[in-house]
């Protein structure tokens, strides 16, 4: 609290004090009080008022500094009201009591919301596991169909599985620490698994996948890394150009390792590039080709942040897109 703020807050009270002093002076002057005595009385009143206001200013400033220091020292700042020293007057006591009651109500509401979120996440995970059974049955039924119908149905089922997987990881992304295991894994194995998971889409889209120098290891969560790479493969296949090719290559960068995913697709307009990681953003390509949810790259960015992966994208419209994943060095990981 500054002196200016204090005076602004007390402006009405100070004005009232000055008005009362002026009226008292007029009364004394009308009753014939000598000017010398009147001047002494006025100066005395003004000094008393100034002393009282100065005392209030320093007392309030010291109290606020004390409370701010307590707040800054707390890791869980929502516990501030529970940690403040005893109130010094009735007003503070009532104010802290109201704040404490409001804080408890908020804590209860947050706890209820977290419980509902946890129940929803558990429901989504259970639903994902249950829905795999009819999808597997549908794949078995496809074996009895002719070639073209079978191919189309398998491709559609692959799309369904991709959407289901995205929903599962979206639910898990709210509490990633519960489903993450950072360890040393083979980058080539991650790439092979991601390609295998999306083989039907890649074949149907006529996309060739080339891998270069992936015989290296990185520290990350294998399941999540496969998911992130799978989303990048899906995007490259969806926004493919003529004679589509996706190249996966690794590049050492000191103690870090970069995985570079390059395609020769239609690219991303320059003015849309800063927004591609925004939740729900589909862009002109997504609207023109359809089927885009705007969630794939959003999830990639969110999961990459938790895995401490660098995720950068560069693109030129009509020429292709390059996405770079930078895996951190083991000693730089804070979650190992």
Q: pLDDT tens digits for 110-140?
A: 888 888 877 887 787 788 778 878 888 888 8
Q: Are residues 66 and 191 in the same domain?
A: no
Place of tokens 């990981």: 333
The pLDDT of residue 255: 85
Is residue 277 one of the residues assigned to a domain? yes
Q: Are residues 180 and 61 in the same domain?
A: no
- Inter-residue contact 187 to 214 (CB < 8 Å): yes
Select from 73, 104, 135 the last residue of a domain.
Answer: 104
> How many distinct structural domains can be found in the chain?
2
Query: Of 87, 104, 121, which marks where a domain is finished?
Result: 104
Q: Are residues 197 and 316 in the same domain?
A: yes
User: What pLDDT is attached to residue 311?
Assistant: 93
Asked if residue 10 is part of any domain, the answer here is yes
Asked whether residue 7 is assigned to any structural domain, the reply reads yes
Residues 6+ apart with CB under 8 A from 238: 205, 289, 291, 292
How far is it, in rounded angstroms, from Cα 332 to Cα 326?
12
Residues of the chain with pLDDT under 50: none
Cα–Cα distance measured from residue 28 to residue 120, given in angstroms and rounded to the nearest whole number: 77
Asked whether residue 95 is domain-assigned, the answer is: yes
Instruction: State whether 180 and 308 are in the same domain.
Output: yes
Domain assignment present for residue 308? The answer is yes
Q: What is the pLDDT of residues 177-196, one digit of tens each?
A: 667 788 899 999 999 999 99
Would you say residue 135 lies in a domain? no
Dihedral sign (CA 199, 200, 206, 207): negative
The total number of residues written for the chain in this structure: 336
Q: Could you tell me if 3 and 57 are in contact, meaning their C-beta atoms sit under 8 angstroms apart?
A: yes
What pLDDT is recorded for position 18?
81
Both structure tokens of 206:
């006529």
Reduce the DSSP state of residue 165 to 3 states and report it: helix
Among the three residues 86, 104, 122, which one is the final residue of a domain in this structure? 104
Chain mean position to CA 318: 32
Do 181 and 44 lie in one domain? The reply is no
200 shares its domain with 69: no
- What was the pLDDT predicted at 335? 64
Give the domain extent around 259: 175-332
Please answer whether residues 172 and 122 qualify as being in contact, where contact means their C-beta atoms are separated by less than 8 angstroms. Answer: no
Among 284, 271, 280, 281, CA closest to 315: 271
pLDDT for residue 291: 63
Instruction: Please give the radius of gyration of the chain, using alpha carbons only, rounded to the nearest integer.
Output: 34
What is the reported pLDDT for 334?
Answer: 72
Q: Quick check: helix, strand or coil at residue 297? A: helix
Work out the burial of residue 333: count CB atoms within 10 Å of its CB; fewer than 13 is exposed, 13-18 middle, 19 or more buried: middle
Do residue 82 and residue 202 come from a single domain?
Answer: no
Domain assignment present for 300? yes
Whether residue 33 is contained in a domain is answered as yes
């Amino acid at each position: 609290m500054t002196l200016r703020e204090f005076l602004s807050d007390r402006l009405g009270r100070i004005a009232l004090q000055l008005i009362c002093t002026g009226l008292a002076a007029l009364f004394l002057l009308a009753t014939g009080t000598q000017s010398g005595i009147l001047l002494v009385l006025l100066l005395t009143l003004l000094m008393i008022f100034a002393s009282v206001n100065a005392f209030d200013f320093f007392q309030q400033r010291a109290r606020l500094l004390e409370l701010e220091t307590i707040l800054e020292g707390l890791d869980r700042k929502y516990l501030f009201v529970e940690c403040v020293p005893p109130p010094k007057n009735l007003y503070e006591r009532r104010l802290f009591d109201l704040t404490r009651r409001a804080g408890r109500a908020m804590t209860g509401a947050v706890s209820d919301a977290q419980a509902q979120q946890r129940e929803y996440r558990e429901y989504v995970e259970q639903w994902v596991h249950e829905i795999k059974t009819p999808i597997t049955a549908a794949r078995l039924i496809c074996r009895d169909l002719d070639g073209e119908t079978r191919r189309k149905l398998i491709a559609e089922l692959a799309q369904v599985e991709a959407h289901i997987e995205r929903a599962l990881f979206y639910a898990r992304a709210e509490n990633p620490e519960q489903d993450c295991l950072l360890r040393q894994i083979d980058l080539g194995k991650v790439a092979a698994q991601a390609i295998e998971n999306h083989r039907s889409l890649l074949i149907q889209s006529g996309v060739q996948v080339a891998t270069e120098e992936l015989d290296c290891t990185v520290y990350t969560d294998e399941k999540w890394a496969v998911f992130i790479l799978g989303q990048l493969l899906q995007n490259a296949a969806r926004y493919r150009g003529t004679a589509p090719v996706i190249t996966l290559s690794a590049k050492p960068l000191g103690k870090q390792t970069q995985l570079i995913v390059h395609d020769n697709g239609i690219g991303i307009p320059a003015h849309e590039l800063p927004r591609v990681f925004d939740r729900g953003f589909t862009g002109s390509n997504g609207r023109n080709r359809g089927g885009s949810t705007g969630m794939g790259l959003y999830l990639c960015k969110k999961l990459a942040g938790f895995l401490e992966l660098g995720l950068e994208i560069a693109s030129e419209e009509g020429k292709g897109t390059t996405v770079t994943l930078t895996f951190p060095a083991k000693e730089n990981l804070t979650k190992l």
